[in-house]
């Protein structure tokens, strides 16, 4: 029975939840679930897991742009049908994984994958740069300060060699969020690309009464910059808000709550770069990423400044870090002043925390290293 708009609840099925994951496991995974002994990375993008029963499963990992068409998914299904009995999975970084149960099946699978050109690049394993976790951007969201798919494509084009190789000291996780809602992994990634605004919101007094719950807009401000105020619209006094531009740091929270406070701006908006976050507990505790570049412009369609900056950080890290050392661990070991010197990034006052718990991020020690950055102050 088709959906009947006159009787929306008629024959309605709800609260089924997702399908049980066990229904989609390849037989070799199902049979050896919970029995895996060890695994190896045979080459970039190809893994083997060995079970205590002696069974093996070979996994070929491919990059994906995350935002894909149904035709693209059908291509994935064709490959899975041809080589993997119709089974396939996606990783938590939106890579595609094809699995086969014998070594002889790996080469033909790779050949089929490669026959699609660069549609399904093989890689993303070990100490390399895997897929970029990213968000909606100008494709679909209404609060972004930058695009998501565009910069991700530009950055991954530039770093493509690192996707299909494992030559870095440790894995480097790059993430992008198009505003500081930080949907995704930006706050805890080795290199994070973040959309930022630089101008306070505009107030649309004419619309605000009908579309906005004023107390929500006021409470949404982390700095108390939004205040209730009266405004005159068509000679009539209405309730509205007032924004103290001196206090505003352009987070955009008030626009999220109130559609009458738009703040996107072509020249004002751009990208900030954060580095040094991680989520694993390996060797050191999880870390938040820290702001190192406060602003890069939105230069569509290739974001050359952002691409160059990410590469600059990655290359300095690749050259200098020890094996297994994540980017944040490296920066903390050599000290952040050395990080800025080695990457060649200028240090700005924007990197100095000034929000509530800021004090703990300042240096309460005489321990530091002389660098080109300290020289700028000591030579005065």
Partner 1 sequence: MATIEHKGKSYEVDEDGFLLKGADEWDENWVDYVKGVEGIAEITDEHQKVIDALQEYYKKNGIAPMVRILSKTTGFPLKRIYELFPSGPGKGACKMAGLPKPTGCV
Nearer of residues 10 and 40 to partner 1, judged by Cβ: 10
Q: What angle do CA 110, 133, 331 make, to 5 degrees?
A: 105
Least distance (Å) from partner 1 to the CB of residue 357? 25
Task: Please give the full DSSP string across 54-111, using - where no structure is assigned.
Answer: S-EEEEEEE---SS--HHHHHHHHHHHHHHSTT--EE-TTS-EEEEESSGGGHHHHHH
259 binds partner 1 (CB under 8 A): yes
Burial of 175 per CB tally in 10 Å (0-12, 13-18, 19+): buried
Nearer of residues 14 and 281 to partner 1, judged by Cβ: 14
Phi-psi region of 307 (alpha: psi -120 to 50; beta: other; left: phi over 0): alpha
Q: Choose, by CB under 8 A, the member of 119, 205, 207, 302 that binds partner 1.
A: 207
277: nearest Cα among 186, 367, 206:
186
In the sheet where 56-62 sits, what is the strand order?
36-43, 46-51, 56-62, 96-100, 89-90
Q: What CA–CA distance (Å, rounded) separates 318 from 310?
A: 12
3-state secondary structure 282-324: CCCCCECCEEEEEEEECCCCCCHHHHHHHHHHHHHHHHHCCCC
Going residue by residue from 134 to 173, which x/- string records binding to partner 1, judged by CB under 8 A? ----------------------------------------
Least distance (Å) from partner 1 to the CB of residue 188? 19
Q: Choose, by CB under 8 A, the member of 91, 112, 165, 209 that binds partner 1.
A: 209
| Number of residues written out for the chain | 380
Q: Choose, by CB under 8 A, the member of 111, 161, 213, 308 that binds partner 1.
A: 213
5 binds partner 1 (CB under 8 A): yes
User: Applying CB under 8 A, which part among 21-29, 209-217, 284-292, 318-326 lies near partner 1?
Assistant: 209-217
Least distance (Å) from partner 1 to the CB of residue 32? 40
231 binds partner 1 (CB under 8 A): no
214 binds partner 1 (CB under 8 A): yes
Rg (CA), the chain: 25
222 binds partner 1 (CB under 8 A): no
9 binds partner 1 (CB under 8 A): yes
107 binds partner 1 (CB under 8 A): no
C-alpha distances (whole Å) from 36 to each of 170, 348, 375 are: 24, 50, 55
> Which residues inside 108-127 make contact with partner 1, applying CB under 8 A?
none
Q: What CA–CA distance (Å, rounded) separates 195 from 306?
A: 11
Least distance (Å) from partner 1 to the CB of residue 228? 9
Least distance (Å) from partner 1 to the CB of residue 263? 14
User: Applying CB under 8 A, which part among 16-24, 147-155, 256-264, 288-296 lies near partner 1?
Assistant: 256-264
Q: Choose, by CB under 8 A, the member of 2, 18, 54, 210 that binds partner 1.
A: 210
11 binds partner 1 (CB under 8 A): no
233 binds partner 1 (CB under 8 A): no
204 binds partner 1 (CB under 8 A): no
- Phi, psi (deg, nearest 5) at residue 172: -115, 120
262 binds partner 1 (CB under 8 A): no
Binding-site residue total for partner 1 (CB under 8 A)? 20
338 binds partner 1 (CB under 8 A): no
Burial of 21 per CB tally in 10 Å (0-12, 13-18, 19+): exposed
8 binds partner 1 (CB under 8 A): yes
Q: Choose, by CB under 8 A, the member of 165, 256, 284, 371 that binds partner 1.
A: 256
181 binds partner 1 (CB under 8 A): yes
Phi-psi region of 168 (alpha: psi -120 to 50; beta: other; left: phi over 0): beta
Cβ proximity of 134 and 148 under 8 Å: yes
Going residue by residue from 64 to 93, which x/- string records binding to partner 1, judged by CB under 8 A? ------------------------------
First to last CA, the chain: 80
Binding site for partner 1 (CB under 8 A): 5-9, 181, 207, 209-216, 239, 256-259
């Amino acid at each position: 029975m088709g959906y009947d708009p006159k009787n929306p609840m008629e024959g309605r099925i709800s609260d089924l939840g997702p399908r049980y994951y066990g229904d989609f496991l390849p037989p070799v995974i199902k049979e050896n679930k919970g029995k895996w002994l060890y695994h190896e990375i045979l080459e970039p993008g190809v893994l083997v897991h060995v079970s205590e029963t002696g069974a093996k499963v070979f996994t070929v990992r491919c990059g994906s742009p995350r935002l894909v068409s149904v035709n693209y998914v059908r291509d994935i299904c064709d490959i899975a049908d041809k080589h993997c009995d119709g089974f396939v999975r996606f990783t938590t970084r939106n890579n595609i994984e094809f699995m086969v149960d014998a070594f002889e099946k790996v080469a033909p699978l790779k050949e089929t994958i490669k026959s699609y050109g660069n549609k399904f690049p093989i890689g993303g394993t070990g100490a390399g740069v895997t897929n970029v976790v990213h968000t909606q951007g100008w494709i679909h969201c209404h609060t972004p300060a930058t695009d998501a798919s565009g910069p991700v494509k530009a950055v991954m084009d530039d770093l493509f060699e690192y996707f299909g190789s494992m030559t870095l000291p440790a894995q480097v996780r790059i993430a992008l969020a198009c505003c500081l809602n930080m949907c995704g992994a930006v706050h805890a990634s080795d290199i994070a690309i973040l959309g930022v605004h630089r101008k306070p919101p505009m107030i649309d007094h004419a619309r605000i009464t009908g579309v906005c719950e004023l107390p929500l807009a006021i409470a949404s401000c982390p700095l108390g910059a939004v205040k209730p105020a009266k405004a005159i619209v068509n000679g009539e006094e209405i309730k509205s808000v007032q924004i103290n531009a001196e206090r505003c740091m352009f987070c955009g929270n008030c626009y999220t709550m109130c559609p009458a406070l738009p703040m996107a701006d072509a020249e004002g908006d751009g990208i900030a770069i954060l580095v040094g976050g991680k989520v694993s507990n390996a060797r050191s505790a999880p870390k938040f990423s820290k702001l190192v570049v406060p602003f890069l412009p939105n230069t569509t369609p290739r974001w050359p400044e952002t691409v160059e900056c990410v590469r600059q950080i990655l290359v300095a890290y690749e050259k200098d870090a020890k094996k297994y050392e994540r980017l944040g661990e490296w920066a903390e070991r050599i000290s952040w002043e050395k990080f800025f010197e080695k990457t060649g990034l200028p240090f700005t006052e924007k990197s100095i925390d000034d929000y509530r718990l800021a004090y703990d991020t300042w240096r309460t020690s005489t321990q530091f290293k002389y660098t080109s950055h300290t020289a700028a102050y000591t030579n005065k």
